[in-house]
Chains A and B, each alone.
Chain A
Amino acid sequence: MKTELHSDVQQNVNSVANCFTPCSGWRTRGKLFNRGIGMIKSELITRLALANPHLYQRDIERIVNTVFDEISDALQRGDRVELRGFGAFSVKSRPARQGRNPRTGQAVSIAAKRVPFFKTGKELRERLNHKPDQ
């Protein structure tokens, strides 16, 4: 357990050091959110195209876009999207509130809004915490 933690931290430090790519990440409450390595939509499409040589890449692109558009549209309607083993998307309502411009200190009223929310599925949560089987 201890050594595992140590190697994880080490890995984190290394990847933070290596992650000065254009899309390296963001900070929220002082925590670095991502490690600069990963996959973007076009790479997902390329991988699926390699795995499905009988399909045109542009069709795969349409399929991937359809899936995410369908999820966005469902959320817009206020529906919940539940994908077993992956997670569930839902929409939460945030009431209107009085905000403040942090630079000027001026009070600003913020309208009520709806925000998307994702809850990780059980299976994926468990897989995340086991040894990465790459």
Chain B
Amino acid sequence: MNTVTRAHLCEAVYQEVGLSRNESSALVESILAEICDELVAGHTVKISSFGTFSVREKGGRIGRNPKTGEEVPIAPRRVLSFRASHVLKDHINHAPASGDNDADGTR
């Protein structure tokens, strides 16, 4: 299993649009930054045909250390949840269309 990182995304952007590598990576970075800022403000981010990122408020509760059985208070907190769109789910369950042998070459 390979891991795709920022560098791969930047490379893909670089290949797609005629921008410099630096500018491509700055744009990838600003896409993520915009999404993060919106989420930190407590807002939802919907990317059509990809999915929805939303922030949920979790109430405080008493947790337990599974190893020692000790009770630990868990403070109220905000968590991020991602819900994939149907398009993405279908895409993932669809067999890769002959594209599995260029896994390393073209990214």
The residues in B between 23 and 71 inclusive whose CB is less than 8 angstroms from any CB of A are 24, 27-28, 30-32, 34-36, 38-57, 60
Is there an interface contact between A33 and B56, defined as CB atoms closer than 8 Å?
yes
For residue B34, which residues in chain A have a CB less than 8 angstroms away from its CB? 39, 44, 47-48
Per-residue CB proximity of A75-114 to B under 8 Å, as 1/0? 1111111111111010100000000000000000000011
Is there an interface contact between A75 and B83, defined as CB atoms closer than 8 Å?
no
**A8 vs B47: C-alpha distance when bound (angstroms):** 26
Per-residue CB proximity of B86-105 to A under 8 Å, as 1/0? 00110111101001100100
Majority-rule SS of B interface residues: mixed
Interface size on A, residues (CB 8 A): 66
B11 to chain A, nearest CB (A): 9
Contact flag A67-B41 (CB < 8 Å), given A115-B92, A128-B80: no
For residue A48, which residues in chain B have a CB less than 8 angstroms away from its CB? 27, 30-31, 34
**A70 vs B16: C-alpha distance when bound (angstroms):** 11
Kindly state whether residue B72 has any CB partner on chain A within 8 Å. no
For residue B80, which residues in chain A have a CB less than 8 angstroms away from its CB? 87, 118, 120, 124-125, 128
* Chain B positions near chain A (C-beta within 8 angstroms): 1-6, 8-9, 12-13, 16-17, 19, 24, 27-28, 30-32, 34-36, 38-57, 60, 75-84, 88-89, 91-94, 96, 99-100, 103, 107
Q: List 21 A-B contacts (CB under 8 A).
A: A1-B75, A12-B57, A35-B42, A37-B44, A38-B45, A40-B45, A44-B35, A63-B31, A66-B16, A68-B47, A72-B50, A75-B91, A75-B92, A78-B1, A80-B4, A85-B32, A86-B36, A118-B82, A127-B36, A128-B39, A128-B78
Nearest 4 interchain pairs by C-beta: A38-B44, A118-B82, A34-B44, A38-B43
